[in-house]
Amino acid sequence: MKALYVLGPNQLKFCETEEPAFNEEQVLIKVQYSMMCSSDVKLIRGDFHGLKLPLIPGHEWSGVVAKAPEKYQYLVGKKVVVDILFPCQQCEQCRKSRRNLCENMNEIGVNLNGGYAEYVVADVKNVIPIPDSISLKDACLIEPLAVVYNAIQRVGIRPAEKVAILGSGVIGLLLVSLAKQMGATQIQVMDYIGDRLKIASSLGATATYDMNQGNLVEDYKKGWMPLPDVVFDATGSADAFNTALEIVKPGGRIGYIGYSAHEKVNIEPSMIMLKSITIYGVLSPTETWLQAIELIENKVIDTEKLITHEFPLEEYETVLNLMKERKDGIIRSVFKF
Ligand SMILES: [Zn+2]
Ligand SMILES: [Zn+2]
């Protein structure tokens, strides 16, 4: 099968390799679409927590079950996505139902091979069939949407609250759609990329701010918009956390959902006390896959605006460059197999 391996920092190898073997509790899935996440860009340069190399990356993908053991034959031919977390079920976190915090986590696309290949092996318990009405291309959005659903559950948005979203990549844009569903009366979105802000507006953002155009914190002070009750940091850049601390309304909440790898930043912790801010870390999809499927099936998410590009796996360098440079209107690109 064709596969793209990460061997070391910025060391990629596209090659023919053996189809992976599966055991009695696993199935072999033929990948149809696999999406490059911005966290994959960090992973490829070697900046990622828990990374084990060599690795076939890819955690946002979909496929069809190709082969299965006798007792799971009924799954063959089914359209599926795969819950990427394989927690141990035995550590304290697992036993306390916090499986995304498992101390011995195995995770597809981090230390288990993922969807940048023609085939992936997965435990049957992680395989989630999807309805026929969802295209396998759109199904690549189920994983990031499950993460965003987790964020909304953790941070909570109440009707009539004002929400700010820093960053309008796919996570930010999915947050816009769900914040609207939750009854937020203001959805303010900030980014450096004007095209993305236009998409944010079309999805329900009530105000957008181009970070190239001025000083956001100063403009809030001058009354650009009312301060948000909730700020989501979906930038993937550590600097933005200071902006979140500055702009959130006293008594407000911050959801940290963008992954900034090992980047560090100076903050003024006393602001958290003086403004009595609550900060939520949002890690991974949790038990939110079915909700994400339901939302896509019912067209709550405008998938067409989010998956903007499509390439064969061979053209991985092109996709990587587009993602790094955020060019050509890219939000997300899929590899089509
Ligand atoms: Zn992702
Ligand atoms: Zn565990």
Phi then psi for 207, rounded to 5 degrees?
Answer: -150, 140
pLDDT digits (tens, 9 = 90+) for 234-293: 999 999 999 999 999 999 999 999 999 999 999 999 999 999 999 999 999 999 999 999
Mark which of 281, 298, 324 sits at the end of a domain. 281
Q: Is the domain of 191 the same as that of 259?
A: yes
Compute the distance between CA of residue 180 and CA of residue 177 in angstroms, rounded to an integer: 5
pTM > 0.85: yes or no: yes
- The number of distinct structural domains making up the chain is 2
Residue type, 229: D
Q: How far is the CA of 257 from the centre of ligand 2 (A)?
A: 22
Q: Tell me if 300 is assigned to some domain.
A: no
Task: Report how far apart the first and last C-alpha atoms of the chain are (Å, whole number).
Answer: 11
Mean pLDDT of 216-230: 97
pLDDT band at 294 (very low <50, low <70, confident <90, very high): very high
Domain that holds residue 268: 148-281
pLDDT digits (tens, 9 = 90+) for 196-216: 999 999 999 999 999 999 999
CATH number, domain containing residue 122? 3.90.180.10
Helix pair angle (289-297, 142-155), 10° resolution: 110
pLDDT tens digits, one per residue of 179-196: 999 999 999 999 999 999
Q: Quote the ligand 1 centre to 223 CA distance (angstroms).
A: 35
Q: What is the pLDDT of residues 43-87, one digit of tens each?
A: 999 999 999 999 999 999 999 999 999 999 999 999 999 999 999
- Do the domain assignments include residue 174? yes
Say whether both 57 and 168 belong to one domain.
no
Residue 8, in any domain of the structure: yes
Are both 106 and 16 inside the same structural domain?
yes
Residue 169 sits in a domain whose CATH number is 3.40.50.720
59 and 97 part of one domain: yes
Q: Are residues 125 and 24 in the same domain?
A: yes
* pLDDT at 179 (0 to 100): 98
Residues that place a CB less than 5 A from ion ligand 2: 87-88, 91, 94, 102
Q: What is the pLDDT of residue 330?
A: 97
Q: How sure is the predictor about 139, in pLDDT bands with cuts at 50, 70 and 90?
A: very high
pLDDT at 62: 98
Pair type for strands 162-166 and 230-233: parallel
Residues 160 and 50 placed together within one structural domain of the fold: no
- Would residue 143 count as lying in a domain? no
C-alpha R_g of the chain: 20
**125 and 198 together in one domain:** no
Tokens encoding 327: 């060019």
Q: Does a structural domain hold residue 328?
A: yes
Q: Does 140 map to a domain?
A: no
80 and 178 both lie in a single domain: no
Do 224 and 325 fall within a single domain? no
Pairing of strands 106-107, 207-210: unpaired
The ligand placed nearest to the CA atom of residue 284 is 1
Cα–Cα distances in Å, from 183 out to 56, 259, 296?
40, 26, 19
Nearest ligand atom owner, CA of 39: 1
Clarify whether residues 21 and 125 are in a common domain.
yes
216: CA distance to ligand 1 center in Å? 27
Measured over the CA atoms of residue 237, residue 239, residue 243 and residue 245, the dihedral's sign is positive
Examine residue 292 and state whether it is found in any structural domain, yes or no: no
- The 3-class secondary structure across the chain, one letter per residue, is CEEEEEEECCEEEEEECCCCCCCCCEEEEEEEEEECCHHHHHHHCCCCCCCCCCECCCCEEEEEEEECCHHHHHHCCCEEEECCEECCCCCHHHHCCCHHHCCCCEEECCCECCCCECEEEEEHHHEEECCCCCCCCHHHHHHHHHHHHHHHHHHCCCCCCEEEEECCCHHHHHHHHHHHHCCCCEEEEEECCHHHHHHHHHHCCCEEEECCCCCHHHHHHCCCCCCCCEEEECCCCCCHHHHHHHHCCCCCEEEECCCCCCCCCCCCCHHHHHCCCEEEECCCCCCCHHHHHHHHHCCCCCHHHCEEEEECHHHHHHHHHHHHHCCCCCCEEEEEC
Residues 34 and 111 reside in one and the same domain: yes
pLDDT tens-digit profile of 82-137? 999 999 999 999 999 999 999 999 999 999 999 999 999 999 999 999 999 999 99
Same domain, 122 and 243: no
Give the number of the ligand closest to the Cα of residue 35.
Answer: 1
CA–centroid distance, 91 to ligand 2, in Å, is: 4
- What average pLDDT does range 6-19 have in this prediction? 97
Q: Which residue carries 């809030």 as its tokens?
A: 220
Nearest-5° angle of CA 38, CA 43, CA 48? 110
The amino acid that residue 206 corresponds to is T
Is residue 298 one of the residues assigned to a domain? no
* 121, 21 contact by CB (below 8 A): yes
Q: How far apart (Å, rounded) are the C-alpha atoms in residues 60 and 54? A: 19
